[in-house]
Amino acid sequence: MAQTPKLLVVTDLDGTLLDHHDYRFDAALPALERLKRHEIPLILNTSKTAAELISLRERLGTAAPYVVENGAALVWSSGLTPDSDAPLGAMMGQRMQPFGATRAEILAALAQIRRDTGLRLEGFSDWDRDTLIQHTGLDPDSAAQALDRHFSEPLLWQGSDAELKLLERALRRHGLRLLKGGRFVHVIGQSDKGRCLGPLRRAYQRHWGSMPRVIALGDGENDVAMLDAADHPVLVRSPVNPLPRLSAAARPRAYTPEALGPEGWNDAIERLLAHYQLR
């Protein structure tokens, strides 16, 4: 009988593992417990900041590496060896591998684009904690953590589709790009949620002695690069956004549970673990 391959679960948070409206993950608890029982790493890959993930990673019971600010940086956990040529910094007391532009570079570009185009660009850098709470419903501590950004700037888009295209063209001239998330559009460097999968696969291959298969779960367009690069892409239904559009090559591998958010997340994990006969 063939040996069961090692698995990694790489997941988006808002609208996927966390409910879009109240940020709870109660409906996913059965599958989360099964992942822990089988010692399958739960890798968070999110638009959130490293500061936001401190308490959430603890509540989820995961000590695995994690990816912040829409793929801009991969924070390594102890026991894993990054690629020997990976550029490494430090974040939250751990080794950090950056993939994108710094926030200072992004904000300087946005200031120039405001001057050049007259576009109304309102984002996290313009808000204090209370304003962010009004826009998101986050509690005060979580809002302060969300403002502690290093590699991206979320914008509350209020313009037309034509103006959004104008912004995208202007950002490209600065070497930046725009990702549409569940609540905001995110200005980032040349990074995406899929770039981390190669380094993660190789690190776990060195750690385990065999190449893992990746289950990736997401609900938005900013998750497409991650889903396209996964062995098992899962498109989680959102109450507010259409399903992300995968590449033609990834579509035959994809699974879309019927339930929304964390309930659909739970169903997909249960189904895939059953596929690998992990009870």
Output the CA angle 219-187-232, nearest 5 degrees: 30
Dist CA 279 CA 274 (whole Å) = 6
DSSP 41-61: -EEEB-SS-HHHHHHHHHHHT
Reply yes or no on whether 130 is catalytic: no
Q: 12, 14, 192, 228: which is the annotated catalytic residue? A: 12
Q: Tokens 């709870």 sit at which residue? A: 24
| DSSP characters over 184-216 | SEEEESS--TTTTHHHHHHHHHHHHSSPPEEEE
Q: Using CA of residue 132, residue 189, residue 92, residue 43, what is the dihedral sign?
A: positive
Within 10 angstroms of residue 171's Cβ, the number of other Cβ atoms is 18
Backbone angles phi, psi at 277, to 5 degrees: 60, 40
Q: What span, in angstroms and rounded, lies between the C-alpha atoms of 278 and 197?
A: 23
Q: Which residues are catalytically annotated?
A: 12
